[in-house]
Amino acid sequence: MVIAFGNIKPGTGKSTLLLLLASYLAGKEKKKIYLIDMQAGGTLGLLSERSAILEHQLPFEYYHCDLSHFELLYARLGAERDAYVLVELPSSMHDERIMGVFSKLDLLFCPFCYDRPTLNSTIYFASLAKRIKTGISLVFLPNRIVSSAGYEFKQEIDALLRQISPLSTGIGEHIGFQRISSLQLDSQLIERYCATLDLIYSHYLAKPE
Amino acid sequence: MTNWTPFIYGLVAVYLLYYLANLAFDLLKPRGAETGESSLMISLADLEEPIDASEYSPVLNVNVNHPQELLSSGEISSSGGVLFGGIMELAANDAIFFTKQIPS
């Protein structure tokens, strides 16, 4: 299953949530998990360098790859049917080779926050994804939700996003996300988001055969 | 009239009594209470609003009976005659249509 995280707005939590999901899946299932980082100089790359120095035993394999090499890497990894391939899409969509990547995706998560500039970019990204691949399974994933804060027009925005694609439950803000220093996540952080991830897993990842 | 010296002595005596009473209370207190079994810890970060499962759309928008998919000739490897720039323009128009609906 190929699952991607994408948004043209940087800093919406693509890398972090991808890492969280990968770590969660590693504990949940015995399948192989591959991380493909398509972001040049992105967070995952930096974290993996640190993990390499610290010689972490990671429950997944990390690959960095650009648009020109994606097809090759996919041909290698995609051959394994019973594996999770988690892709972090590049923020820049100004390359038509991105269409090849979209065609391979089974599920696309679009993390976003409830501020106006991010919403605009998120809606544009979703529209683009829908234009490139009409039937794409896109799920909006609200990130950095502060439980004590009120969000202006949240109801209206949620209703609007649901017109485009399903909207998942939100990922709350947690200091643990700022303390991530390598690809190895703190088990307490995964535990904390277990309920949310379970819900996401049962709704979007467990295949309705 | 009292002198300063008896007053200080009195004060010291009262303090010593208070100190001893405190010490005795701590020593004679039942040990079981110290294990912290009954202590309640509230993490404010956990006081989040519950997840509203009813807001989930139970099925993904991939429709099995969708005619477009039944007529599909396979995986998309081209944009179907529309240039990539054209797709981006169409997407931008869609985005404008949706973002206009956000109240400000």
Intervals of chain A under pLDDT 70 = 207-209
Is residue B12 one of the residues assigned to a domain? yes
Which phi and psi angles does B74 have, rounded to 5°?
120, -165
With CB atoms and an 8 Å threshold, state whether A96 touches B92.
no
pLDDT score, position A209: 46
Is residue B82 one of the residues assigned to a domain? no
Closest CA to A185 of A13, A26, A5: A26
Domain range holding B12?
4-28
With CB atoms and an 8 Å threshold, state whether A131 touches B99.
no
Q: Which two tokens stand for residue A116?
A: 């106006």
Tell me whether A178 touches chain B (CB under 8 Å). no
CATH (domain of A143)? 3.40.50.300
Give the integer Cα–Cα distance in Å for A39 and A98.
12
With CB atoms and an 8 Å threshold, state whether A96 touches B79.
yes
Is residue B16 one of the residues assigned to a domain? yes
Measured between beta carbons, the chain B residues lying within 8 angstroms of A168 are 56
Measured between beta carbons, the chain A residues lying within 8 angstroms of B61 are 135, 137, 165-166
Is residue A104 one of the residues assigned to a domain? yes
Query: Are the C-beta atoms of residues B83 and B91 closer than 8 Å to each other?
Result: no
| Location of structure tokens 């038509």 | A96
Measured between beta carbons, the chain B residues lying within 8 angstroms of A126 are 95
Number of domains composing chain A = 1
Query: Are the C-beta atoms of residues B51 and A199 closer than 8 Å to each other?
Result: yes
Point out the residue among B51, B55, B98 whose CB comes nearest to the CB of A127.
B98
Is residue A162 one of the residues assigned to a domain? yes
Is residue B77 one of the residues assigned to a domain? no
Closest CA to A46 of A69, A68, A67, A62: A62
Is residue A36 one of the residues assigned to a domain? yes
Is residue B93 one of the residues assigned to a domain? no
pLDDT score, position B42: 66
Tell me whether B80 touches chain A (CB under 8 Å). no
Tell me whether B25 touches chain A (CB under 8 Å). no
Residue A91: other Cβ atoms inside 10 A:
19
* Nearest-CA distance A50 → chain B (Å): 29
Is residue B14 one of the residues assigned to a domain? yes
What is residue A203's DSSP assignment? I
pLDDT score, position A207: 65
Query: Which chain A residue's Cα is nearest to B64?
Result: A135
* Nearest-CA distance A52 → chain B (Å): 32
Q: Which two tokens stand for residue B49?
A: 């609003």
Q: What is the pTM of this model?
A: 0.74
Is residue B54 one of the residues assigned to a domain? no
Question: Mutating which of B60, B79, B90 best tests the A interface, going by the most A Cβ atoms within 10 A?
Answer: B60
Tell me whether B86 touches chain A (CB under 8 Å). no
Tell me whether A103 touches chain B (CB under 8 Å). yes
Number of domains composing chain B = 1
- pLDDT tens digits in sequence order for chain B, 104 residues long: 678 999 999 999 999 999 999 999 999 887 655 555 566 766 666 666 667 666 665 555 555 555 454 555 555 555 566 788 888 999 999 999 999 888 87
Closest CA to A124 of B80, B90, B57: B90
Is residue A209 one of the residues assigned to a domain? no
Is residue B13 one of the residues assigned to a domain? yes
DSSP string, B29-89: S-GGGGG-TT-----GGG-PPPP-GGGS-SS-S--TT-HHHHT--SS--S-TT--HHHHHH
pLDDT per residue as tens digits for the range A143-169 = 999 888 888 888 889 999 999 999 998
With CB atoms and an 8 Å threshold, state whether B61 touches A204.
no
0.85 surpassed by complex ipTM = no
With CB atoms and an 8 Å threshold, state whether A131 touches B98.
no
Tell me whether B60 touches chain A (CB under 8 Å). yes
Is residue A205 one of the residues assigned to a domain? no
Give the integer Cα–Cα distance in Å for A110 and A12.
9
Q: Which two tokens stand for residue B23?
A: 């010490």
Query: Are the C-beta atoms of residues A110 and A166 closer than 8 Å to each other?
Result: no
- Listed in sequence order, the residues at least 6 apart from B99 whose beta carbon sits closer than 8 Å to its beta carbon are A119, A120, A123
pLDDT score, position B43: 66
Question: Mutating which of B90, B98, B104 best tests the A interface, going by the most A Cβ atoms within 10 A?
Answer: B98
